Chain A
Amino acid sequence: MPEELTFSTDPQWRVKVGLAEMLKGGVIMDVTNAEQATIAEKAGACAVMALERVPADIRKEGGVARMASPKIIREIMDAVTIPVMAKVRIGHFAEAQVLEALEVDFIDESEVLTPADEENHVWKHPFKVPFVCGARNLGEALRRITEGAAMIRTKGEAGSGNIVEAVRHMRAIVGEMRRLTQLGEEELISAAKELGAPYDLVRWVARNGKLPVPNFSAGGIATPADAALVVQLGAEAVFVGSGIFKSSDPDRRARAIVKATTHAKDPKAVLEASEELGEAMKGLDIRQLDEKELLQTRGW
């Protein structure tokens, strides 16, 4: 029997991780209004992310990206019966308090928005609403869990339509976990130092070979095959941001990505999902972007 983490038996923590468990195997879609939310729900989304602008538009238009207006979020909450998530800026605990007062089901402390604190993330344990946070590697994931994140997602590179960064981050997280399982007891303290993560969490991962919360993928998923790729690499569910409503036929693409996520290991099903989809979003070559244009480097 693995040793329990100090917070893992707390009822509030268990219902937070419990909701994340319910979203496994599903697709969480970015939506900017009630109409898109309804399309997403009908297409089989297991949750929606309420936003004012999808990441591709945030990238294009620039300026400070903040929490969406409560009006938009409320309209989306009224339009669908599935869970509704919304984003806050990194470290902006007051935006998170507003979203909790609004009773959203999940808060994404997201690098897609302009950070509010360049040193600290939100201390998430006191909140009753669960949080999801992005990570590029295991150390980042474990720091976010320590702060109270009930779900981890890869950061990828949001709004790029390019899967390369999500793959890099998922491989890093899964690979670092695999490495931990092979270390001796005496090597774990040094591994914790290298990862910049608490020892008890590092030891838990070393013994269990997985994160103590669901591990999802986000940032650049644009096609059914992209979803099938990250699921086979270890993602337990996928977030699709700009990939759906920036494509030529959002409804059909949404349905196709849902199907490919459920049947990720069945190439015939992914083939069926990939046919007659119209144009995917155009996408960006990450190597052509300036360092300062990257969203994934936000967060610490």
Chain B
Amino acid sequence: MKIGILAIQGDFDAHRKRLEELGAETVLVKTASDLVGLDGLILPGGESTTHMKLLEEEGLLAPLVEQVRQGMAVFGTCAGAILLAREVKNPAQHSLSLVDMTVIRNAYGRQLDSCVTTASTTISDHPLEMVFIRAPVIERAGESVEVLARRDGDPVLVRQGRILAATFHPELSSDPAVHAYFLKMVRNGH
């Protein structure tokens, strides 16, 4: 199983380590040719404005969206979740528009409001530890979007078909549950 990690900027190396601990083969994706032959793709944390700009400039945007439409599984964390959203607010910005949800950037505040917390989830029988860093909030999740975990009522882990999105950073937690869930999603093909 070959999983790509978008490596334009951000905490892609934390994802790589986690995936390798779970036995997946990883590829750092910097150009369109790196996308060939992937079973799944991770959009890591970092700055969504930086990611979006370089995706557009490097000609990665169109092939990436095309591969997802053809069934490649995708998992976005924090900035990655912002990229996946249909609509982005605070401020409005371009996105890949792949998940029917509206996301508000930096909705909890600045770095002072970053935190580690726990919440229950439907993907695991134990509560998930969640690391939020200048995190976005999912203001609206469409009917086709399944909510897998919430923080104070707001969705923080969601799935739409073969796409998974977290507003927190499972790659910075010692709990591998979310990555394991994603790899199962990739393996099962649905």
Contacts and interface: CB of A to CB of B under 8 A. Distances in A.
Interface of A: 11, 14-15, 18-19, 21-26, 41-42, 44-47, 81-83, 100, 103-106, 128-130, 258-259, 261-263, 266
Nearest to A14: B116
B112 A22 contact: no
Contact of A81 (B14, B49, B53): B49
B136 to A, nearest CB: 11
Interface string B44-58: 011101100110010
Contact of A25 (B7, B105, B132): B7
Contacts of B9: 24-26, 44, 46, 261-262
Given A15-B131, A15-B133, A128-B112, A26 B10 contact: yes
Given A103-B110, A106-B111, A263-B30, A46 B46 contact: yes
Contacts of B172: 14, 18, 21
Contacts of A15: 111, 114-116, 131-133
Given A18-B169, A263-B30, 11 more contacts: A11-B115, A15-B114, A15-B115, A19-B111, A24-B9, A42-B53, A46-B50, A82-B47, A83-B47, A103-B109, A104-B111
A81 B115 contact: no
A44 B55 CA distance: 11
Closest 8 CB pairs of A and B: A105-B111, A11-B116, A15-B114, A25-B9, A21-B11, A26-B9, A46-B47, A18-B133
A106 B53 CA distance: 23
Contacts of A130: 111
A47 B47 contact: yes
A248 to B, nearest CB: 22
B134 interface: yes
B114 A21 contact: no
Contacts of A19: 111, 114, 133-134
B13 A105 contact: no
Contacts of A18: 11, 114, 131, 133, 169, 172
A50 B105 CA distance: 21
B120 to A, nearest CB: 19
19 contacts: A14-B131, A18-B114, A18-B169, A22-B45, A22-B47, A24-B10, A25-B8, A25-B10, A26-B9, A41-B49, A44-B53, A82-B47, A83-B47, A83-B134, A103-B112, A105-B111, A258-B50, A259-B57, A262-B54
B182 interface: no
B91 interface: yes
B44 to A, nearest CB: 9
A26 B90 CA distance: 22
Given A46-B47, A81-B90, A81-B91, A25 B12 contact: yes
Contacts of A103: 109-112
Contacts of A22: 10-11, 45-47, 78-79, 133-134
A22 B134 CA distance: 10
A172 B60 CA distance: 37
